[in-house]
Amino acid sequence: MKKKCRVIPYQVKEVLDLSTEIPKGIELIQAPDLWNKTKGKGITIAILDTGCDINHPDLQERIIGGKNFTDDDNGSPEVYMDYNGHGTHVAGTIGASGKDSGLTGVAPEVSLLIVKVLNGQGTGQYDWIINGIYYAIEQGADIISMSLGGPEDVAELHEAVKKAVEAQILVVCAAGNEGDGLDSTEELGYPAAYNEVISVGAVDLERNSSRFSNSNREVDLVAPGEEILSTFLDGKYASLTGTSMAAPHVSGALALIKLISNEAFERNLTEPEIYAQLIKRTIPLGNKPSIEGNGILYLTAPDELKEKLQSAVQLLVANSY
């Protein structure tokens, strides 16, 4: 299957000096407020991308293994090093450890499974991605994160996604960067356009919808995707822009949500149930659903709603006397 799929970055800017340990996007979704409950330990996220800088000081302790499905390094399956930077950036947003004053990801104690399905040029064949999904299923991943896409609706890719969801794996995909800023037009990229996946659009750090973010009926929510600081090649850092940067915010958040929800319900929730818990943690921004889905990811939304309800009840009780 020679049809091509590719990474979907939009803009890259290398950062020479790391001035913050917690990127603004991660603060915006309120991830640090959950770290007193969990940091993602025990959850495995399979990152299907360009590989990873396995020696990056903020990532090396989080990586539990991986496999190369591309033609890089003569197709050697044991070598899943990143020669592009995209996959390393995604990995940092999800699970950078923040060790020794480094960068901290959304879920800094999560386990990362590096599934290299795109080569150093940022492109890949659909069968590489399909094989990568089945590998993630076999390895028992909890979450699959894919910041990649293509214009082709490939039946075998859709089937692989369905198999992952049937295995109770949450599949997160970047919505795509072909948007025109209009909610009246529809831009579709795959696998994000499949109903079974969690499709993530982008907003800037002021919560404004990103003009380039694809709009369609399958967008589930939005997350920060502009000027996102994360890990990069050779132990460095960079700011990237694109829905590719929004999706890993959601992937990392799902690790926290799954652990917190399973503990609260005292059982292992199903994939649809975890999805419902994710959507509970969104706030509408006032755009049409084709632009923002259910709204922006905001992890403390249920707690803040609970506090408001408690305050309202207390006020009613006080006024009744």
Positions annotated as catalytic residues are 49, 86, 244
Strands 228-231, 237-241: pairing kind: antiparallel
**Residue 248, CB half-sphere, CA atoms under 13 Å: how many?**
39
Strands 296-297 and 282-283: antiparallel
Q: Using omega within 30 degrees of 0 as the cis cutoff, is the peptide bond preceding 191 cis?
A: yes
- Residue 126's contacts (CB-CB under 8 Å, 6 or more residues apart) are 1, 3, 4, 5, 150, 152, 154, 156, 157
Among 139, 94, 23, 104, smallest CA distance to 255 is for 94
CA angle 174, 135, 249 (to 5 degrees): 25
Residue 188 burial (CB count, 10 A): 18
Say if CB 246 and CB 225 are below 8 A apart.
Answer: yes
Q: Give the integer Cα–Cα distance in Å for 21 and 260.
A: 24
